[in-house]
């Protein structure tokens, strides 16, 4: 992370900080492609349902930064695809 202008080259631990205090470390934001200085720049998932039969998943991501989404057809430890 030290190659990014915002980080302190003499502080090897600033990647573990949460500079914008949004609950996500600078390292995770860098890897996710979000701005570690912007509280609005978060990856996210919201789940809504109006009728308990149909569920709508809405993903918030960074344009141009690919994400991998795993899922499974039933509850349990196995079967992730
Ligand atoms: Ca953060």
Residue-range definition of the domain harbouring residue 49: 1-81
How far, in Å, from the CA of 17 to the mean position of ligand 1?
8
How far, in Å, from the CA of 72 to the mean position of ligand 1?
29
pLDDT for the residue numbered 4: 58
How far, in Å, from the CA of 58 to the mean position of ligand 1?
21
Domain count, the chain: 1
| Structural tokens at position 10 | 């003499």
Buried residues in 13-44 as b, exposed as e (16+ CB within 10 A): ebbebebbebebbbeebbebebebeeeebbbe
pLDDT for the residue numbered 17: 92
Question: Averaged in consecutive runs of 10 residues, what is the pLDDT profile of the chain (81 residues)?
Answer: 64 88 89 86 86 89 84 87 88
pLDDT for the residue numbered 76: 85
pLDDT for the residue numbered 3: 52
């Amino acid at each position: 992370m030290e190659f990014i202008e915002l980080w302190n080259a003499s502080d090897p631990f600033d990647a573990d900080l949460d500079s914008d205090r949004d609950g996500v470390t600078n390292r995770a934001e860098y890897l996710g492609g979000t701005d570690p200085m912007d509280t609005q720049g978060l990856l996210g998932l919201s789940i809504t349902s109006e009728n308990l039969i149909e569920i709508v998943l809405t993903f918030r991501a960074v344009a141009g930064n690919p994400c991998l989404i795993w899922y499974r057809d039933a509850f349990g430890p196995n079967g992730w695809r």
